[in-house]
Amino acid sequence: MNALLSSDPFTQPALGPEAADIPLLDRDHSILAFNDRVLDWARRTDVPLLERLRYLCIVSSNLDEFFEVRSAPYVVAQKPGQVKDSYSLEAIAAFSEIVHRLVGEQYALYNEQLMPALAEHGIAIVSHGERTAAQRRWVQEYFEREVRPLLIPVGLDPAHPFPLVANKSLNFIVQLGGKDAFGRQNDIAIVKVPRVLPRLIRMPSKVADGKTLCVLLSSVIRAHLQDLFPGREVGQFSQFRVTRHSDLAVDEEEVRNLRTALRLGLQQRHYGQAVRLEVSAGCSERLAEFLLNQFGLAAAALYRVPGPVNLVRLQQLIELVDAPKLMFPPYKASYPRQLVEGQPIFERLRQGDVLIHQPFESFDGVIDFLRQAVRDPQVLAIKQTIYRTGSDSVMMDLLREAVQRGKEVTAVVELKARFDEEANINWAEQLEAIGAQVVYGVVGLKTHAKMLLVTRREGKHLVRYAHLSTGNYNPRTARLYTDLSVLTAHPQLTADVENVFVHIASQVRLPKLHLAWVAPFHLQRRLIERVQEVGASAARGEDARVILKMNALTDVPLINALVRAGKQGARIDLLVRGGCMLPARVAGMTDNIRVRSVIGRFLEHSRVFYFRHGEQESLYLSSADWMNRNMLRRVELAWPVLDPVLRRRIVDECLVAYLHDARDAWDLMADGLYHRVETALDPASPGAQQALMERYAARTALAEKEVRWT
């Protein structure tokens, strides 16, 4: 790939490193601020109680990933003599303060609001001190039957060094009195808790007094630590959890088989560099200091938590409780309105493109498109990118069926999709085993584009049909993420998709495309050019507008282009869900730029790029956020929406609705902080996602009524 880049000017990355025109917001602080906005949903009393708990768990999961991927430089810099210019003492202190505050607010919310409120509904996690005699007997029986046989305490001495502790696993450290069986005074022991044990156990109705009562596995073990050390006195103890750097790094230029190298790397991921240590709030200074030394961490990496060290596992409580009134009302996505269930999709696409807005419309339309392709004898070939499909995927089953039916199947499997590597490796091996052509993208780049291409014989011609999406081929997340899908038979666009697939598989030179923009070759350049066109139009006094919707905005060249266009008079609205480094509303610099983040019931995930200057209007959908990695280190796709009706629908549902959201939106202010919209606490204020759910539900009800009448 490097040779191709150096020999073909057309494939050169658009722009190299560039200094920012204005001081930018800190990327990591912006990511943490996003999590604070997610946590706000756990604070909101208008949100059902179990859903508030779910948002609390989501924040914990996000923080886990943040530490696993982004915190290592801070952790290294915290050590004496390790401070680097890019991580000043002030930056390290600010990072530590923000994260400790966020974690503190999580546990305060958990202990002071959510658990007391759940108790009012007869739902509780019962500690050892609160258990009745009958409940203690049941817990002891459970411990002896299910837990104790799997625990092997390790007493530390020269022959028993500190054991390897896996990333994010539950463990106990125990200080022991007296002497061991050999008369020695080794006073520290470690108890590793197997992952196979459930972290939350529901007590049976016979001891629950008609309530939904649960116990934490950590509480069960804590209550019976003495039983694990007969003849010794259990003194101070604490549960603990260590988070480790988990971003896999593989030198693709040096490995002969990327799949094998990644599988080996996965085995070591659980034991990477320690970056965070969580202990119980009451952990003694001696035990905390002992653990910090063992993991090579500074004091700032220690988090004392007044509750379970892993709030993510409280998701299990939501699954154990049968209380529909404490959850969001069920939402059933409608079948895509441009399709008719059970009717041939290929015939429909010959009439024009189809837009699917998930999760308001169901992913079933995409699955049906692939299913019809698999079972249509006229379909000769299917090509698909696989990024995050999940471990149990109906689409992967359909691809296997396609191979078995004799179709040519090409799967571009991205093995380096973070935290989905194992599932993707397994799918790759299964597809290869039955004869599919499996490729792993381009060396040095992640294949992040979401493409599905079907080639069908129609008379004397081969006709292409494509599905392009802003999101993943994952039916589960398609119910939780907002994304846009396009089904098309447009000859030029499907030809572009074919060329991208051929380029990825063969690494031949990518030809000039008709409509699509592809990273890392020209996506960044084309976006900058489009923003510059809008800016130049504004400078001439013409009406000029940019509206962008994405998950993150951190690419400096793109930020600079937006800032310059704003200075020229273009009105720019940015709907950025997460991290955003562009400071909005700064006098004399970004007066014309507004940044808004919408956090709702569904995860905002669609990428929409709208440009208007004079009489010219264009709208692109994309798999790419405006981040440097998406522009220069990934294979990404952006494509235009040419149908004016579909374009207006996207503007209405994905841009206008969110710009007018008066309930779930946060606006970035000149001070770099996000403020909730003033009407957010008013139950009558409209939220974009709620309005869209109601709109699509009404259409579904009307369609069902028409069916009944006919």
252 is written with which tokens? 């693709």
Q: Is 628 labelled as part of a ligand binding site?
A: no
Q: Is 577 labelled as part of a ligand binding site?
A: yes
Could you tell me which of 567, 537, 534 has the C-alpha nearest to residue 548? 534
Q: 269, 245 in Cβ contact below 8 A?
A: no
Q: 663, 34 in Cβ contact below 8 A?
A: no
E strand or H helix that includes residue 595: strand 593-598
Q: What is the DSSP letter of 85?
A: T
Query: In the beta sheet, which residues pair with residue 172?
Result: 191, 239
Q: How far is CA 663 from CA 34, 349, 374, 598, 680, in A?
A: 16, 37, 43, 9, 4
- Burial class of residue 30, CB neighbours in 10 A (0-12, 13-18, 19+): buried
Q: Which own/partner pairs from 107-116 qualify as long-range (CB within 8 Å, at least 24 positions apart)?
A: 107/305, 107/306, 107/307, 107/311, 109/39, 109/42, 109/43, 109/56, 110/56, 110/307, 110/311, 111/306, 111/307, 113/43, 114/42, 114/49, 114/52, 114/53, 114/56
Cβ contacts of 266 within 8 Å, gap of 6 or more = 248, 421, 422, 425
Query: In the beta sheet, which residues pair with residue 437?
Result: 410
| Active-site entry in 245, 448, 503, 613 | 448
CA distance 434 to 30: 46
413 is written with which tokens? 């499997």
Question: Any alpha helices (H) in 481-617, and if so which ranges?
Answer: 491-506, 523-539, 556-567
CA distance 450 to 634: 12
Could you tell me which of 656, 659, 703 has the C-alpha nearest to residue 339? 703
- Known active-site residue 448: yes
DSSP E strands, 82-232: 123-125, 154-155, 171-177, 188-192, 200-202, 212-216
Q: Is 388 labelled as part of a ligand binding site?
A: yes
Chain centroid to CA 308: how far? 23
Q: How far is CA 111 from CA 119, 412, 654, in A?
A: 11, 46, 37
Q: Please report the DSSP string for 256-309 in residue order.
A: S-HHHHHHHHHHHHTTS-EEEEEEETT--HHHHHHHHHHHT--GGGEEEESS-S
426 is written with which tokens? 């397994």
Query: In the beta sheet, which residues pair with residue 379?
Result: 456
Q: Is 387 labelled as part of a ligand binding site?
A: no
Query: In the beta sheet, which residues pair with residue 580?
Result: 553
Instruction: Please report, to the nearest 10 degrees, the dihedral formed by the alpha carbons of residues 214, 217, 223, 227 taken in order.
Output: 140
Q: 12, 5 in Cβ contact below 8 A?
A: yes
Binding-site residue numbers for ATP are 62, 481, 577, 605
Cite the active site residues: 448
Binding-site residue numbers for Mg(2+) are 388, 418
Binding-site residue numbers are 62, 388, 418, 481, 577, 605
